[in-house]
């Protein structure tokens, strides 16, 4: 009976040694995987932070560009209005010059019979037609420029992130190596706001 007990005891001890060996082997594998995870986390964190900083710089640049474009749009609108005003003034002056030329021509023709000395004068209709054509071209171009366009404004908007589970925070290596789930880096999504403006 004692022999059977010893054999069973030895068998149990052998099984326990095998189980302990497997546990140790699994712990070593787990430790190796965790160390690889730490290295991967650090390299990925570096890349993510660089991307994050680039996104912030890009958003700042886009905002500055938007401000410049808005300023240029306002300034070009003001200049276009000034140009239209001057265009109307030039048009009025051309018409006034033409009327004056016609008046002069009528007076010279009327004077031919009674005046001692006259000179030949003719209204340059071709020059006036060329000026009218150029003025009409300008009107067409300035009218074509006025069209409604959608202006998009780029902005960064905070993105929702899933909550970190408390069990994740309890893993020893997570606490010792500070393996956060990037909670310290604000997550954004790029959004385009559409503004309807008259260009």
pLDDT in tens, 15-59: 999 999 999 999 889 888 888 888 888 888 888 888 888 888 888
Write down the pLDDT at residue 121.
Answer: 66
Q: Return the top range by mean pLDDT from 24-28, 80-84, 191-195.
A: 24-28
- For the record, the structure tokens of 171 come out as 């893993």
Q: How far apart are CA 49 and CA 137, in angstroms?
A: 55
Cα separation, 164 vs 142, in Å, equals 59
pTM beyond 0.75: no
Question: By three-state DSSP, how is residue 119 classified?
Answer: coil
Residue 140 pLDDT greater than 60, yes or no: yes
Is the pLDDT at 72 greater than 70? The verdict is yes
Going from the C-alpha of 132 to that of each of 26, 56, 105, 199, the distances in angstroms are 93, 53, 20, 27
- pLDDT mean over 111-125: 69
CA 97 to chain centre: 51
Are 99 and 128 in contact, with CB atoms under 8 Å apart? Answer: no
């Amino acid at each position: 009976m004692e022999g059977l007990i010893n054999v069973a005891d030895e068998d149990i001890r052998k099984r326990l040694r095998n189980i302990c060996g497997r546990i140790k082997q699994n712990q070593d594998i787990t430790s190796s995987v965790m160390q690889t995870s730490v290295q991967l986390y650090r390299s990925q964190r570096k890349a993510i932070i660089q991307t994050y900083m680039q996104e912030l710089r890009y958003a700042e640049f886009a905002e500055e560009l938007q401000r410049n474009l808005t300023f240029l749009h306002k300034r070009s609108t003001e200049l276009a209005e000034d140009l239209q005003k001057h265009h109307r003034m030039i048009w009025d002056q051309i018409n006034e010059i033409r009327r004056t030329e016609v008046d002069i021509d009528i007076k010279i023709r009327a004077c031919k019979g009674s005046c001692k000395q006259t000179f030949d004068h003719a209204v340059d209709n071709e020059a006036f037609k060329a000026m009218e054509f150029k003025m009409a071209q300008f009107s067409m171009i300035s009218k074509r420029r006025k069209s409604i366009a959608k202006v998009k404004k780029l902005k960064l908007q905070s993105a929702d992130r899933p909550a970190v589970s408390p069990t994740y925070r309890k893993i020893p290596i997570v606490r010792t190596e500070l393996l956060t789930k990037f909670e310290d880096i604000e997550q954004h999504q790029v959004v385009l706001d559409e503004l309807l403006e008259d260009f």
